[in-house]
Structure 1
Amino acid sequence: MDSPRTTSSAPAVPPASRPPRMGWGSRDISLIAVFAALMAASIAVPPIPAGNVLGVPITIQTAVVTLAGLVLGAGRGAAAMGLYVLVGLAGLPIFSAFRGGLGVLAGGSAGYILSFPLAALVVGLLAQLVLRRNLRRRGIWLFAATFGGLATTHLLGIGGMMVNGQLALPAALAADLPFIPGDILKNALAVLVALSVHRAFPDVLVRRTR
């Protein structure tokens, strides 16, 4: 007589031993949406004329870009700024001076606008390195991290002015120069805000880098 067949199945993996979920949850999506909305709301602060030949103004938007990287990290910060740029290019008037649509890509500000997701990505990557290592005087290290985003924004901004404004490199550098002191100050303010956020919510970024 044949013995009854037995079926074996792999033991269930205990919940504690399952690999951590890598995707974004509802909290991450909410933070991305909040920072994209904050970026859009920042145009309510009137821009300051910078006096350059292409009429590119001084705005507080680079401060929000930096803050997004410092608080959300690389992926979520870039996603928030990418969402803002995509919605603006789709036609919603959320760029400076309440502009929107693909037409902004032909203007002097095009390089700066397109740099926002990449700048948030760079700042976020550097901020994650600082917070992961729990460095002393991390405010100074985070401030240093913001210069990665500053360099990204200004390099692309200069490139945009050279392409759309037909400016030679020296002229584009001269047009960009007035933005730098203000951006350094805005970076310092963004670091102060980010430090307060990380003190109040210590897992908002650190948990993404463990």
Structure 2
Amino acid sequence: MTTRDLAFAALFTGIIIVLGLVPPVPLGFIPVPITLQSMGVMLAGCIIGAKRGALAYLIFVLLVAVGMPVLSGGRGGLAVLFGPTGGYVLGWIAAALVTGFCAERLVREEQGEWRQLAGFFAASVAGGIVVLYLIGMPWVSLVAGTPFSAVAMGSLAFIPGDLLKAAIAALAARAVLAGYPLLRQRA
């Protein structure tokens, strides 16, 4: 990793923290709120790539672990990481890695705009939704003592919003690629 890679990771850690300034939206039937910080997974992976995106979230999770109130709603600390939402927070690292890995393979500068958008959207869905749910849902089930089937049914409420986040991330990543291509400068 170069100094440039570390600077991009730190920059995106800051962006993730800023996304946490938007208050969480609790749903009531599942102990996991809707936050914009999960869109940061998609943005980081698509814009700065797998390694740098995962590093940005690793730094973020370390800040949470030491008690910095950087999560949406001003939360932080080990209690959050070991609580019902901890699987999603820890899963953000792997989700950013997978999102970036997919984006690096699906999107090329020489492709047309629509194909790039489709690639970024697919990468965002694969990492930011599928991988994140595969890590977060079993964690919620285990920690909250809720049957996995109930957690899976409750998680269906997040899918429309997460698909919207994936679309926004794809548009943002395409705009950055057109103006300042960071993704091709892989770490």
Q: 3-state SS of the aligned residue for 1:178?
A: helix
Superposed CA offset, 1:123-181 (max 9, x none):
10010012348444211122112121110111111111111101111111122111111
Show the 5 A alignment for 1:119-198. 119-132=95-108, 134-136=110-112, 137-149=115-127, 150-198=129-177
| 1:44 matched residue in structure 2 | 21
RMSD: 1.5
Offset, 1:46: 1.2
Show the 5 A alignment for 1:103-118. 103-118=79-94
Number of corresponding residues: 184
| 2:73 matched residue in structure 1 | 97
Superposed CA offset, 1:98-135 (max 9, x none):
11111012322111101101000001001001234844
Select between 172-181 and 45-54 the one with higher mean Cα deviation.
45-54
Distance 2:110 2:102 in 1: 13
Q: Which has the higher contact order (CA 8 A, sep 6+)?
A: 2
Q: Which runs of 5+ in 1 are unaligned?
A: 1-23
Distance 2:110 2:150 in 1: 42
For the 8 Å contact 1:131–1:206, the answer to whether it is kept is no
Q: 3-state SS of the aligned residue for 1:46?
A: coil
> Residue 97 of structure 1 aligns to which amino acid in structure 2?
G
For the 8 Å contact 2:140–2:151, the answer to whether it is kept is yes
| 2:2 matched residue in structure 1 | 25
Superposed CA offset, 1:81-114 (max 9, x none):
1110111111111112211111012322111101
For the 8 Å contact 1:50–1:179, the answer to whether it is kept is no
Superposed CA offset, 1:10-33 (max 9, x none):
xxxxxxxxxxxxxx2222111100
Distance 2:125 2:183 in 1: 19
> Residue 141 of structure 2 aligns to which amino acid in structure 1?
M
* Cα 1:184–1:53 shift into 2, 3 Å: closer
Selected match of 1:35 from 12, 19, 23: 12
For the 8 Å contact 1:65–1:119, the answer to whether it is kept is yes
Distance 2:27 2:134 in 1: 17
Runs of 4+ displaced beyond 6 Å: none
Show the 5 A alignment for 1:189-208. 189-202=168-181, 204-208=182-186
Establish whether residue 61 from structure 1 lines up as the match of residue 37 from structure 2.
Answer: yes
Distance 2:109 2:20 in 1: 35
